[in-house]
Amino acid sequence: SRAQPPFPPSQVERLLAGCNSWQFDTWGLHEASGGHALSALGFFLVQREGLVERLRMEPLTLARLLRTLESGYRVNNPYHNSAHAADVLHTLHVLLHGARLTEHYLDSLGLMAAYFAAIIHDYGHPGLTNDFLVASSHPLALRYNDRSPLESHHAAAAFSLLAERPDLDITSGLSRSERAAFRKQVIELVLATDMKQHFAILNHFNTVHHLSANTANNNNSGGSEISPQPSAAANSTGRQQPPTAPQSSQPPPRAQQRHQQHGGTSAQPAR
């Protein structure tokens, strides 16, 4: 039978309606949807943001792909499972919209790349660390030359799925250049989830931030009354920078309790 777009019952719809809040209950959605939090949230966000229409996707293809990716997360993996991927997808969504990056920085293709990267970022995770894979000469470590073997595997396996299954290829409506840009952005985002890259990425961010702030300050101090200069929130090109994202509040007791009941802790990193 043909796969149908996930059309959630009222309880799931009520939970999805709160996806813009930090208090969103991922575990509640996981339970209410019968273990399909990732596909339900993924379809809801992509559809609501207008990406299906703007990126010329077939809704049924998207639904099939999300369910297939969801099934690729191991149920017996206590942390890197599909519920974790749904949690990361929600966190990314709130950060992007809270910082207004969708208004100032991301276009439709970039937003879809970000969502897709969150959805696949632990796809097929074996429940082992990169260090263990390298130390044990695991086939994944050998295949990817000990460099981010898990993250490389997640991205490669997901894109292999699109290549091998035309009925799952949500990029078929894109131009060649759009497909290449989408693939490049997704791969970079997934590889960046390797925590060994954390400090390099953070240092790069801080460097760019300081350079932009210094340039803006210099422009402000050397400006004239006739020709207004960019504000301190603008970069060297004059493009307005998005405001700082709101700080996260603690998860609600109910969601925290559910997370602990499922074998997690109250402060798991969103990776």
pLDDT at residue 78, as a whole number? 95
Distance CA(171)–CA(183), nearest Å, equals 10
Grouping H, G, I as helix, E, B as strand and the rest as coil, residue 240 is: strand
Q: Which of 116, 153, 125, 107 is nearest to 39 (CA)?
A: 116
What H or E segment, with its residue span, contains residue 64?
helix 59-71
Q: What is the distance between the terminal CA atoms of the chain, rounded to a whole angstrom? A: 35
pTM of the full structure: 0.77
- Residues marked as binding for Zn(2+)? 84, 121-122
Q: What is the pLDDT of residues 207-224, one digit of tens each?
A: 988 888 888 788 877 644
Q: What is the pLDDT of residues 78-134, one digit of tens each?
A: 999 999 999 999 999 999 999 999 998 999 999 999 999 999 999 999 999 999 999
Report domain extents, the chain.
10-193+241-261
Grouping H, G, I as helix, E, B as strand and the rest as coil, residue 67 is: helix
Query: What dotted CATH number matches 10-193+241-261?
Result: 1.10.1300.10
Chain CA centroid to CA 203, Å: 21
Q: Mean pLDDT across the stretch 177-200?
A: 96
Q: What is the pLDDT of residues 242-257, one digit of tens each?
A: 444 444 444 444 444 4
pLDDT at residue 261, as a whole number? 45
Exposed / middle / buried, residue 114 (Cβ in 10 Å: 0-12, 13-18, 19+): buried
Q: Are 106 and 96 in contact (CB under 8 A)?
A: yes
Burial 9-19 (b: 16+ CB within 10 A, else e): eeebeebbeeb
Distance CA(134)–CA(80), nearest Å, equals 19
Grouping H, G, I as helix, E, B as strand and the rest as coil, residue 158 is: helix
3-state percent breakdown (helix, strand, coil) of the chain, nearest 5: 60, 0, 40
- Residues marked as binding? 84, 121-122
Strand positions, DSSP E, the chain:
none
Q: Which of 253, 140, 263, 139 is nearest to 194 (CA)?
A: 140
pLDDT at residue 251, as a whole number? 46
Q: Mean pLDDT across the stretch 61-82?
A: 97
Catalytic residues: 80
